[in-house]
Amino acid sequence: MTILCEHPPAFGVELEEKNNIPVDHDGQENELVLDEGFVVPDTNSFGHTFRDYDIESERQKGVEEFYRTNHINQTYGFVKRMREEYGKLNRVEMSIWECCELLNEFIDESDPDLDEPQIEHLLQTAEAIRKDYPDEDWLHLTGLIHDLGKVLLHPAFGELPQWAVVGDTFPVGCAFDESIVHHKYFTENPDCNNSAYNSKYGVYSEGCGLDRVFMSWGHDDYMYLVAKENKTTLPSAGLFIIRYHSFYTLHRAGAYRHLMNEEDVENLKWLKIFNKYDLYSKSKVRIDVEKVKPYYLSLIEKYFPAKLRW
Ligand SMILES: [Fe+2]
Ligand SMILES: [Fe+2]
């Protein structure tokens, strides 16, 4: 068995797969004890070390191909069109919990670290946070809902391709930072040759605030739009986590700080806490969904309307 970690820690990758697109979270060789006492086990639910792939090179090819397509197609214009189209929220009406159940139809088959439905990943993340931060109920709920935007893969949401739903995210409308995973593929992105978009600030200005920045389109930005437009009462840190949890080049490599404002700096602290749980919760024990459901329903009721427009 090998432990392979082809990206330095600066490049977290969250790829969920369908149709043989590989999935990837950063592996860690040793047991880590994180700041807040959350223990990161060195084995997954199968008792193997993380990232144990027999056909590593094939998987790697899949990841590269995924990012090549992603980097070529995620342009400023594309993101704008997707935000306009999906921002209409005219597809489905459902509660947060109903969306959790819908997402459950997507079970990750090619990720050797994951042998359970998405709903368990969501609840594992939420429950792990709840254990260490019992008073931050908004953070528990954020854990539960952070990946719900993956419903974009569902036929009712246009069955978007993987490259437009998952993977690391990054700003568009300004230069692509070199710390972005597989940066080389941006040379084929038309924005790279557009002087309006290829400078350090591009269409933005210093300290403008990340909420003004267009991010590559995917489940993060979509869920942020859903939560915001449905008037969630989650604190801004919760919305920040939802929108930027795959923005690894910011929270790992410290890129794009010149676009952040003071509120972003504060919220980034929570995002860094959150990400530890998102990455490692896959290895936690199975969750008794029915047992924890009443608690999460009460949080949903506290922070969201009964039915949301999606
Ligand atoms: Fe995610
Ligand atoms: Fe996640």
Ligand 2 centroid from CA 125, angstroms:
8
- Residue 271 in contact with residue 238, Cβ under 8 Å? no
Q: Is the pLDDT score of 163 beyond 90? A: yes
Integer Cα distance of 249 and 255 in angstroms: 6
Question: Is position 17 within any domain?
Answer: no
Mean pLDDT of 230-250: 98
Sign of CA dihedral 31, 248, 289, 19: negative
Residue 60 sits at φ, ψ, to 5 deg, of -60, -40
Report the separation in Å between the CA atom of 247 and the middle of ligand 2, taken as the mean of its atom positions.
12
Within a domain: 36: no
Tokens of 63: 């990841």
283 is in an annotated binding site: no
Q: What is the pLDDT of residues 175-222, one digit of tens each?
A: 999 999 999 999 999 999 999 999 999 999 999 999 999 999 999 999
* 48 in a structural domain: no
pLDDT in the model for residue 284: 61
Is there a domain that residue 86 lies in?
A: yes
Look at residue 2 and tell me whether its pLDDT is greater than 80. no
Do the annotations mark residue 17 as ligand-binding? Answer: no
Look at residue 17 and tell me whether its pLDDT is greater than 50: no
Phi/psi of residue 308, nearest 5 degrees: -115, 155
168 has binding-site annotation: yes
Predicted confidence band at 266 (pLDDT cuts at 50, 70, 90)?
very high
Give me the domain span that covers residue 80: 55-309
Q: Which ligand is nearest to the CA of 121?
A: 2
Ligand that lies nearest to the alpha carbon of residue 129, given by its number in the listed order = 2
Q: How far apart (Å, rounded) are the C-alpha atoms in residues 293 and 289?
A: 6
Ligand 2 centroid – CA 192 distance (Å): 30
Q: What is the pLDDT of residue 75?
A: 98
Give residue 241 CA to ligand 1 midpoint distance, Å: 10
132 lies in a domain? Answer: yes
Nearest ligand, CA 166: 1
Q: Binding site annotation covers 228? A: no
Query: How many distinct structural domains can be found in the chain?
Result: 1
Q: Flag whether 47 is in a domain.
A: no
Report the number of secondary-structure helices (H) and strands (E) in the chain. 10, 4
- Alpha-carbon dihedral sign for residues 224, 201, 251, 44: positive
Query: Is residue 207 part of an annotated ligand binding site?
Result: no
Question: Is 226 inside any structural domain?
Answer: yes
**236: pLDDT strictly greater than 80:** yes
Dist CA 40 CA 24 (whole Å): 17
User: Is 245 within any annotated ligand binding site?
Assistant: yes
Neighbours of ion ligand 2 (CB under 5 A): 147, 278
Q: Is 154 labeled as ligand-binding?
A: no
> Which phi and psi (to 5°) does residue 103 adopt?
-65, -25
Query: Distance, CA 162 to ligand 2 centroid (Å)?
Result: 15
Q: How far is the CA of 54 from the centre of ligand 2 (A)?
A: 24
Residue 255 lies inside a defined structural domain of this protein:
yes
114: pLDDT strictly greater than 80 = no
d(C-alpha 111, C-alpha 229), whole Å:
33
Q: Is 132 annotated as a binding residue?
A: no
Q: pLDDT at position 87, please?
A: 98
